[in-house]
A = this chain, B = another copy of it.
Amino acid sequence: MEFPGATTARDDARYLVVGAPLDRSASGRPGARYGPEAVRAAGRHFEDYDRDSDRTFSDCGVADHGSVGSPGSIGDRGEYGAYLESVIGEAVRDGLVPCVIGGEHSVSPPVVRAVDPSVVVVFDAHLDLRESYAGDPYSHATATRRMLQVADRAVVLGARAGAASEYDRAASDDVTLVAPEAVPDWTPDLAGERVYVSLDIDVADPSVAPATGTPEPFGLRPRVLRDAIRRVAPHAAGVDVVEVTDRDQGQTATLAAKLLRTFVYAHADATAD
């Protein structure tokens, strides 16, 4: 099924939803392969109309590319990343804003390579700044580190877990940490930047988003997350939402679907003529 409301033909679209059901490196609970279909299904009963932006989603110009690969079918990860990058690259060249639904966090670096932002804004409970994890440089636990190979800097919002070495890496000039408690008051300083937004759903508190691979207590509340997405969306050239699994009755996917719509409404509102 397509993302609900993503009814625009690609040629007429401004946004392109792309599923990326990669699920290889989960060090916690697996199931991110079911993220794209769970998130698409969860949005089914949402109203088309958004009061805040006074817009309907179906008029925002969203197309759905479908998913790149299907759950369980993805073999070599290097090839997968290259192919995903090429799909997103084509979207970017067509002037589309990619809206990627993971899959594990490792899908973000290939997307970032295609979008080529100056700044990545990462919502995540974890720093994901390891150089390599369990011998794997492409693990979900290295996502932000890999994105920093493309972007000039990263703003990491809501992180509350990391190795000591990751905190060392985070002390560099190119990383800004915004603690969970500080997110409500965070004001983005992104004027003139090309921004990519990566939303690891585990940034939310586990009571809010229980169906994720590595739940970490003491996270963000839904409205805080919504408000931050609204603030950063106007600057964005691409977005993803990752690490949603199928291990609840739709609660986590419902939030993810809503935040993706929040992004589109806010972006469309800010960039309208």
* Identity of the chain B residue whose Cβ is nearest the Cβ of A72 in the assembled complex: B27
* Identity of the chain B residue whose Cβ is nearest the Cβ of A208 in the assembled complex: B207
Is A184 close to B, CB under 8 A? Answer: no
Is A210 close to B, CB under 8 A? Answer: yes
Most buried by B among A181, A215, A255: A215
Copies of chain A in the complex:
6
> A37 is contacted by which of B1, B211, B254 (Cβ under 8 Å)?
B1
Q: Is the interface of A mostly helix, strand, loop or mixed?
A: loop
Query: A228 to chain B: closest CB distance in Å?
Result: 13
Query: A29 to chain B: closest CB distance in Å?
Result: 7
B contact residues around A49 at 8 Å (CB): 162-164, 167
User: In whole angstroms, what is the CA distance A47 to B247 when docked?
Assistant: 22
Cross-chain contact B28 with A30 (CB below 8 angstroms):
no
Is A23 close to B, CB under 8 A? Answer: yes
User: In whole angstroms, what is the CA distance A74 to B136 when docked?
Assistant: 10
What class of interface size applies to chain A in its complex with B? 35 or more
Task: Mark A51-88 against chain B: 1 for CB-CB distance below 8 A, else 0.
Answer: 10010100000000001001111111001000000000
Is A206 close to B, CB under 8 A? Answer: yes
Is A183 close to B, CB under 8 A? Answer: no
Cross-chain contact A44 with B72 (CB below 8 angstroms):
yes
Cross-chain contact A222 with B207 (CB below 8 angstroms):
yes
Contacts A1-B70, A33-B30 given: A45-B134 contact, CB under 8 Å? Answer: no
Contacts A163-B48, A163-B49 given: A73-B207 contact, CB under 8 Å? Answer: no
Is A223 close to B, CB under 8 A? Answer: yes
Cross-chain contact A251 with B207 (CB below 8 angstroms):
yes
Query: A249 to chain B: closest CB distance in Å?
Result: 5
Contacts A1-B1, A30-B31, A254-B206 given: A162-B51 contact, CB under 8 Å? Answer: yes
Query: A205 to chain B: closest CB distance in Å?
Result: 6
Cross-chain contact A47 with B162 (CB below 8 angstroms):
yes
B contact residues around A218 at 8 Å (CB): 222-223, 226, 258
Cross-chain contact B28 with A72 (CB below 8 angstroms):
yes
> A215 is contacted by which of B213, B223, B250 (Cβ under 8 Å)?
B250
User: In whole angstroms, what is the CA distance A164 to B58 when docked?
Assistant: 13
B contact residues around A73 at 8 Å (CB): 27, 44, 134
Closest 3 pairs (CB-CB, A-B)? A75-B134, A30-B30, A75-B135
